[in-house]
Structure 1
Amino acid sequence: MKDEAMLDAKPDQPTAKCPVHMDEPGTGRLAHADADHPAVPQAKIGVLIANLGTPDNYDYWSMRRYLNEFLSDKRVVDYPAWLWQPLLQLVILTKRPFTSGANYKSIWNTDKDESPLLTITKDQTARLAETVAEKFGDGVMVDFCMRYGNPSTTSKVDEMVKAGCEKILFFPLYPHYAGATSATACDQFFRALMTQKWQPAARTVAPYFEHPSYIKALAASVRRAYDAMEEKPEVLVASYHGMPKRYLMEGDPYHCQCQKTTRLLREELGWEEAKIQTTFQSVFGPEGWLRPYTVDHVADLAKQGVKRLAVIAPAFSADCIETLEEINEEICESFEEAGGEHFTYIPCLNDDALHIAALTEVIEENLAGWS
């Protein structure tokens, strides 16, 4: 009789207990809750994609805040704090914001007053929201965050929980796993969950460096670029972000995953082995990093007689400072100064339709049992 009475009760009548989910979607009212019960939104699933981050501007203080957060991350620089922090605060952060700021200024999206990475990530999120909605309706919410800078991971997790996301799929947009990218992004996501009173169920997306749809999207971008050229490049360099070689020796799988992506891309293109070569860029600090270094290798190729060269950056899901400035300017200059004549940078997949389709496929696979 008690249960029958509860079923007949009006939404504003006090009752002894209330269900977890709303019986009246979108009202913010639990069907059998007490009158003073806090509003509860309709239950949803959240898909939170994450990228590295971006400064808010390229001025000194914006750059200093961003670089301080980034370079203070123990996943990025794992030296003891007593050794690293004085060097960082007193030396590096007094000079580097000027040079990094100048680099960002050279690629800044002046129309929207934001970095290209932020612009592209917004576009990717909008496209993903459309494709996910086509598959799952409005019960899945898609948004993005940055590991460093804004919008922060904590703020976006908070927004998702307040919007009713009882389950969150966290998707670091790094095809390859590395402690300094995927792991630190997940660390920050887990920290954000710790701040929630009602903590949602959570999943993280594994690296997708060998996913067939991702490889096909990469190959299509290469074919598209080559088809637009009268004279094809003699060599395609697959340039990946570098890391200290010590990390590989300590068990980080990044190097091996990068090598496999290059091999799978070559096989998808049907090319011989010498046509694609793997290199690593963005060397920082005094210790040895993964080799060969892109900036040196392209010069060596030019000295060996290679006149036409193309570079692709498979480890980046969106064009950013490392591709638009480092590859398109510094690495290009290294090749041309050594005798190279035609340098082509093949853009990241960004919001290309095949890339969005591949990411949607990864999301769908990881939502199995939830959606």
Structure 2
Amino acid sequence: MTLVEHAPANHPKVPTRRIGVLVANLGTPDGTDYWSMRRYLNEFLSDKRVIDLPRWKWQPILQGIVLTKRPFSSGANYKTIWNEEANESPLMTITKEQVAGLRERAAALWGDRVIVDYCMRYGNPSTEAVVDRLVKAGCDRILFFPLYPQYAGATSATANDQFFRALMKQTWQPSSRTVAPYFDRPDYIEALAASVQRTLGGRTPRKLVASYHGMPKRYLMQGDPYHCQCQKTSRLLGERLGWAPDVIDTTFQSVFGREEWLRPYTVEHVAELAKRGITEIAVISPAFSADCIETLEEIQGEIREAFIHAGGKEFTYVPCLNAEPDHLNVLTTIITENLSGWI
């Protein structure tokens, strides 16, 4: 804390000026019990960016049928992957590891002038709480970084929305920037390719299924660029690996509700591959910056089982980039570029 120059002796002390870098991910429940899951799912599924049905139509369904039953099934799924030692979800554990690595890199580059922190769009630590903490620590400029390589209204945009809402509550509002999607950056593609090569030992699989989180097809028709950016990521990854164009298939998972979502659906596609005699596949999830319920439970559980049940023999999962050094180097480079003019 410092005194303001030329201010009277009784003037409130002002924190030393710093820059905040706030990385954001989707979120995680605080526990696997019914009420923790219900709070988390209620916040997530009440987001108009996620479910855009009219409130009068959706909320009775959500508060009635969905939040009566789904916390039990979702809690059971989380229990299968829960980090019991730390009493937290793997997404939380990995996010902490990522932030620790980014803090080391930031300290080496800029000393104590830059503070790196993290928040979740849903659950804790909330965006509002961390923004407030950064402002109180003297951050008069904040770079907000949603950890989604591909842009989608239901991920990047809603994270930004929440960041802007948090800024609205600040008396002395910091200057702010948001990071653009990075789905086609050469260094990001290089990191993806390295993860594939590490996992597969340099061999080329019969099929690499690039499974991205799904969304209603209607969102694509309304102008959301997510589908196109996913396709480009897959194409660039295949080109970097030097594979034939038909080795990588782009699919979409986590379908919810009755309307049509982006196709092909991963769970159906891997079963169809097995039925066609392709009994050895690998699966990667380029849309996730950290392994989470969708990768650790859905892909390695439901999707793997669908493949094996249909006649598949060998199923290899390529982990997310997580806190791998090359991934953290990519994120640090992106942060450095976006801090241009500030530091």
Shorter-chain TM-score tier = over 0.9
Instruction: State the distance in 1 between where 2:240 and 2:16 align.
Output: 44
Q: 1:132-151 maps to which residues of 2 (within 5 A)? A: 132-151=106-125
Instruction: State the distance in 1 between where 2:298 and 2:55 align.
Output: 29
Could you tell me which residue of structure 1 aligns to residue 224 of structure 2? Answer: 252
Instruction: State the distance in 2 between where 1:68 and 1:141 align.
Output: 31
> Which 10-residue stretch deviates more, 33-42 or 188-197?
33-42
Q: Secondary structure at the match of 1:107?
A: coil
Could you tell me which residue of structure 1 aligns to residue 140 of structure 2? Answer: 166
What is the CA distance between 1:274 and its match in structure 2?
Answer: 1.0
Q: Structure 2: 5+ residue runs without aligned partners?
A: none
Is 1:100 aligned to 2:86, yes or no?
no
Could you tell me which residue of structure 2 aligns to residue 55 of structure 1? Answer: 29
Instruction: State the distance in 2 between where 1:345 and 1:255 align.
Output: 22
Q: Alignment RMSD, CA only?
A: 0.9
Instruction: State the distance in 2 between where 1:232 and 1:216 align.
Output: 16
Match of 1:341 among 292, 313, 321: 313
Asked if the contact 2:205/2:247 (under 8 Å) is kept, the reply is no
Instruction: State the distance in 2 between where 1:302 and 1:280 align.
Output: 17
Match of 1:64 among 30, 38, 50: 38
Is 1:233 aligned to 2:174, yes or no?
no
Could you tell me which residue of structure 1 aligns to residue 275 of structure 2? Answer: 303
Is 1:186 aligned to 2:164, yes or no?
no
Could you tell me which residue of structure 1 aligns to residue 128 of structure 2? Answer: 154
Instruction: State the distance in 2 between where 1:233 and 1:102 align.
Output: 33
Q: Secondary structure at the match of 1:198?
A: coil
Is 1:314 aligned to 2:305, yes or no?
no
Match of 1:196 among 170, 176, 184: 170
Instruction: Name the larger-Rg structure.
Output: 1
TM-score when normalising by structure 1: 0.91
Higher normalized contact order (CA 8 Å, seq sep 6+, divided by chain length): 2
Could you tell me which residue of structure 2 aligns to residue 91 of structure 1? Answer: 65
Instruction: State the distance in 2 between where 1:66 and 1:222 align.
Output: 33
Is 1:351 aligned to 2:323, yes or no?
yes
Q: Secondary structure at the match of 1:38?
A: coil
What is the CA distance between 1:30 and its match in structure 2?
Answer: 2.3
Q: Structure 1: 5+ residue runs without aligned partners?
A: 1-26
Asked if the contact 1:54/1:146 (under 8 Å) is kept, the reply is yes
Instruction: State the distance in 2 between where 1:178 and 1:295 align.
Output: 22
Instruction: State the distance in 2 between where 1:186 and 1:180 align.
Output: 10
TM-score when normalising by structure 2: 0.99
Cα shift readout 1:124-173 (whole Å, capped 9, x = no counterpart): 00101111221222101000000000000000000000000000000000
Query: Which residue identity does 2:138 align to in structure 1?
Result: G
What is the CA distance between 1:32 and its match in structure 2?
Answer: 2.6
Could you tell me which residue of structure 2 aligns to residue 362 of structure 1? Answer: 334
Cα shift readout 1:36-76 (whole Å, capped 9, x = no counterpart): 11111100000000000000000000000000000000000
Instruction: State the distance in 1 between where 2:128 and 2:147 align.
Output: 17
Q: Secondary structure at the match of 2:246?
A: helix
Could you tell me which residue of structure 2 aligns to residue 120 of structure 1? Answer: 94
